[in-house]
Structures are given as structure tokens and as C-alpha cells.
Amino acid sequence: MLQKKPQLPQEQLKNTDYFIYCLEAVNDVETDLITATQKDLAQLTAQFGIASIHKTCDTIEGLEDSLTILLSEDHNFKDYEIIYLIFTGEANNVCINDYYYSLQEIAELFEGRLQGKILHFSNAKVLDLEEEEAQYFLDITGARAISGYGNLENGISSIQLDKAFFNLFNEDENVLDVVEELHQKFYKACKLLDFRLYY
């Protein structure tokens, strides 16, 4: 099912040149529930003035539709650089409604269409890629980097560290500098959650 185009209030659009596009896997997109992620993103706006667009998907087609609409049709959103993904899954795959899709499959869906973007996974899933797997994804999609965590949630959500990462990136576009600063400022959290960057 094709979903409506994400919308941001006009006043927010005028006040920001940086925002996060968040895509979250849910059991049913028809359910009108506010997710914990949406509340966290509202805090991101309140704390740091970083606007966000939140979309849900319950199928791989929904994932493809959401990103396709954003990437090809919505000219207001050229400036977003981070795609924030809230999916369960394992080392090199994501789970959508009990179906597993490898990052290789996802790369092929978005061949050449993620130019300059950073894909950041929350620790709802572990991100553990072989060097060749990461390089394949980056080469096929054109993405700048993939980031996430080596340790699963286990009662400790990555959201606070995610928000810090997004805010540092808002201040400095060099992703390696941002990751270095993140480790300096939040060393314990980075170690505990095992923050990872593939570029």
C-alpha cells in the first residue's frame, strides 16, 4: 500500500536545514498508535531543534515505498542526511513482520539512490557486518556510511546516544570527527552499546 507523503509543518521547514528521516518497522501501519520512537523524536526537536519525519512500515514494499517517495518525489527534503532505522533483526539483516531481509537485498532495492546519506540503526537490532558486506552496501547504494551498535537493547535503549550523534552531526558534517567526538563525550555509552561505523 502506498503511504502518504511525509509532511513537516511549514514553520519547522523554514527553521531547519537539517533533519532526521526515521523509518520504523511495526506490526500494522493501520494502527494509529504513537510509538516510543515518535516521543523520542519529539524530544530531539525540543532539546536540539532538530526536526524529524517519522514513517512506519509493515512490509518490505512499505519500506521501499516510503523511501522512494522521499528520495524521488519530495523536493523539500533534499537536505536530510540521516536515515534513522528502527528495526529488529540480526547482524546483517532486518526483520519486518517476521520476514528477514538481508542488507544486500535492501542495497539492491535502493541501488544508487542513497547518495551521501548515512543510515543509522538503533540498537533494536545488532549491526555486525563483514567488511565486504558493508562495502557492497555502500558501493551499491551510494550511501556515505552505515552506523549502529554491536550490542542489542537488553533494557538499555540507544536513543540518548542516537540523539547525541544526530546533534553532533548537525554541528559538524565530517562523520569521522563526529564519531570521535561522540566517543570522547559519551565514552561509557559508546563502549557499553558498542557503537559502530562502516564507511
Is 45 a member of any domain? yes
Is 108 a member of any domain? yes
Q: What is the mean pLDDT of residues 11-26?
A: 70
Q: Which of 194, 132, 145, 149 is nearest to 174 (CA)?
A: 145
Is 148 a member of any domain? yes
Q: What is the mean pLDDT of residues 178-187?
A: 96
Q: What is the CATH number of the domain that holds 148?
A: 3.40.50.1460
| Structural domain for 83, as ranges | 16-198
Q: What is the pLDDT of residue 17?
A: 62
Q: What is the pLDDT of residue 73?
A: 61
Is 27 a member of any domain? yes
The total of structural domains in the chain comes to 1
How is the chain split among helix, strand and coil, in percent rounded to 5?
45, 20, 35
Q: What is the pLDDT of residues 115-173, one digit of tens each?
A: 889 999 999 999 999 999 999 999 999 999 999 999 987 778 999 999 999 999 888 88
Is 100 a member of any domain? yes
Q: Is residue 94's pLDDT more than 70? A: yes
Is 131 a member of any domain? yes
pTM for the model: 0.87
- CA quadruple 13, 17, 22, 28: dihedral, nearest 10: 10
Is 112 a member of any domain? yes
Are 14 and 77 contacting, i.e. CB atoms less than 8 angstroms apart?
no
Q: What is the pLDDT of residues 98-117, one digit of tens each?
A: 999 999 999 998 899 898 89
Is 68 a member of any domain? yes
HSE (side-chain half, CA atoms, 13 Å) at 25: 22
